[in-house]
């Protein structure tokens, strides 16, 4: 009888762990999709604000790659302090969403600052290009760093669910990448 009780408890725990993993997997799929939708939309917005689409795309890609690396590095250093990774993951995703709402306003402010600096200093073509690049990076570094923090935090959450196998992390990352592909297609 005790063996059956232990088996039932193990099965219930595995079922709860599986449901938790599936929920995280769905969240990470949509996280990848929205991240790339943001990237495409922000590149287009920068093209409208700054005019040169190649420069806009370069700035967005640089901010994205730099922000992802920065966020991942910071999260990895602080991961031991995170006691509730699901809560931390949710707060990170909420932060990304809230910041995305203010990006258009920030791009407008960057455009205004750019105009003032241009009129005051006339930095020339290369100074002008560098200035646009810096302003775009300043606007985008926060949400992209938050995006970079999601992977270490979600891996910690999976570990706490008792499902930290390399295949589980691989599946999560694959779903995030699939979402990113879907997000890119959806954004056109």
Q: Tell me: the pLDDT tens digits for 21-62?
A: 898 999 999 999 999 999 999 988 888 877 767 877 888 888
Domain total of the chain: 1
pTM value is: 0.84
Higher per-residue confidence, 146 vs 58: 146
Let me know if residue 89 belongs to a domain. yes
DSSP secondary-structure letter at 122?
Answer: -
User: What's the CA gap between 117 and 150, in Å, rounded?
Assistant: 36
Nearest-Å Rg of the Cα atoms of the chain is: 21
Let me know if residue 120 belongs to a domain. yes
Let me know if residue 160 belongs to a domain. yes
**Mean pLDDT throughout 168-179?**
93
Most confident option among 54-63, 105-114, 175-184: 175-184
**Out of 11-15, 107-111, 113-117, which region has the weakest mean confidence (pLDDT)?**
11-15
The torsion defined by the Cα of 106, 112, 117 and 120, in degrees rounded to 10, comes to -160
CA–centroid distance for 112 within its chain: 27
**Whole domain around residue 123: which residue ranges?**
22-187
User: What's the CA gap between 16 and 62, in Å, rounded?
Assistant: 40
Let me know if residue 16 belongs to a domain. no
Let me know if residue 85 belongs to a domain. yes
Whole-number percent of the chain with pLDDT over 70: 89
Let me know if residue 137 belongs to a domain. yes
Let me know if residue 3 belongs to a domain. no
Let me know if residue 144 belongs to a domain. yes
Nearest partner of 38 among 83, 95, 96, judged by Cα: 96
């Amino acid at each position: 009888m005790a063996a059956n009780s232990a088996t039932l408890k193990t099965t219930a725990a595995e079922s709860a762990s599986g449901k938790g993993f599936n929920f995280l997997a769905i969240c990470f799929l949509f996280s990848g999709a929205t991240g790339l939708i943001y990237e495409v939309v922000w590149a287009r917005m920068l093209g409208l604000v700054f005019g040169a689409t190649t420069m806009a795309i370069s700035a967005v890609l640089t901010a994205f790659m730099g922000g992802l690396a920065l966020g991942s590095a910071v999260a990895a250093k602080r991961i031991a302090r995170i006691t509730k990774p699901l809560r931390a993951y949710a707060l990170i995703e909420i932060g990304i969403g809230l910041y995305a709402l203010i990006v258009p306003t920030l791009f407008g402010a960057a455009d205004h600052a750019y105009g003032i600096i241009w009129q005051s200093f006339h930095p020339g073509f290369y100074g002008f290009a560098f200035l646009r690049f810096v302003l775009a990076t300043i606007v985008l570094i926060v949400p992209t760093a938050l995006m970079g923090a999601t992977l270490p935090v979600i891996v910690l959450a999976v570990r706490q669910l008792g499902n930290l196998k390399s295949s589980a992390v691989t599946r999560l990352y694959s779903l995030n990448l699939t979402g990113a592909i879907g997000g890119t297609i959806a954004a056109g």
